[in-house]
Amino acid sequence: MASGQTPSQTIGPFFGPALIRPGLEMMARPATRGEHLIIEGRVLDGDRAAVTDAMIEIWQANAEGRYDHPEDTQEKLLDAHFHGFGRTATDAAGRYRFQTIRPGPVPDRRATLQAPHINVAIFARGLLQRLATRIYFPDELLNATDPVLNSVPPARRGTLIASAGAGGTLHFDIVLQGDDETVFFDI
């Protein structure tokens, strides 16, 4: 390295103490409209080892299919008890968990209806940029026509679809690289 240059640095591990506040993972309250559910999973590296210092953010529409954002001007109801944003850190086993609702379908820019989904951002040590992916729901009829899901090669689509767990819980592991790597989008 030449004199006076700053060495490159990776991000983290500062997520827990700097950006995580208790309660951000609990997006749905008792008064929130819609089908309440839990989404949980693990963040795994290329060796399938737990990533213990990742931060996961999710952003989603409400049960009506409307985002709580000024640019979403659909004539669908907003829910004063649901704002569509959550954040949590992984634990010592790489696990994360959100209490949320099943979102309604939303149109894309061309007014094509998208299947219900949850947008996900992953931040972790060693990642210079966040990773972006989506969680789709199992047995959702609109998955067959969703323009984003169907832009992914058929053999890789399964990495974007959660699996049903006990008691209505959905399970979604995020694999950062290697075999069965989660599909990430360049947005």
> Which one, of 108, 115, 105, lies nearest residue 34 by Cα?
105
Residue 54 structural domain: 23-175
Residue 102 placed within a domain? yes
pLDDT, tens only, 153-170: 999 999 999 999 888 799
Q: What is the pLDDT of residue 5?
A: 61
Q: What is the pTM of this model?
A: 0.88
Residue 52 placed within a domain? yes
Mean residue pLDDT across the chain: 90
Residue 76 placed within a domain? yes
* pLDDT confidence bin for 7, thresholds 50/70/90: low
27: domain CATH number is: 2.60.130.10
Number of domains in the chain: 1
Distance CA 99, CA 23 (A): 10
pLDDT, tens only, 50-97: 999 999 999 999 999 999 999 999 999 999 999 999 999 999 999 999
Residue 150 placed within a domain? yes
Judge contact between 96 and 30, C-beta under 8 A: no
Q: What is the pLDDT of residue 167?
A: 84
Residue 92 placed within a domain? yes
Residue 65 placed within a domain? yes
Q: What is the pLDDT of residue 111?
A: 86
Residue 51 placed within a domain? yes
Q: What is the pLDDT of residue 126?
A: 80
Judge contact between 50 and 42, C-beta under 8 A: yes
Residue 8 placed within a domain? no
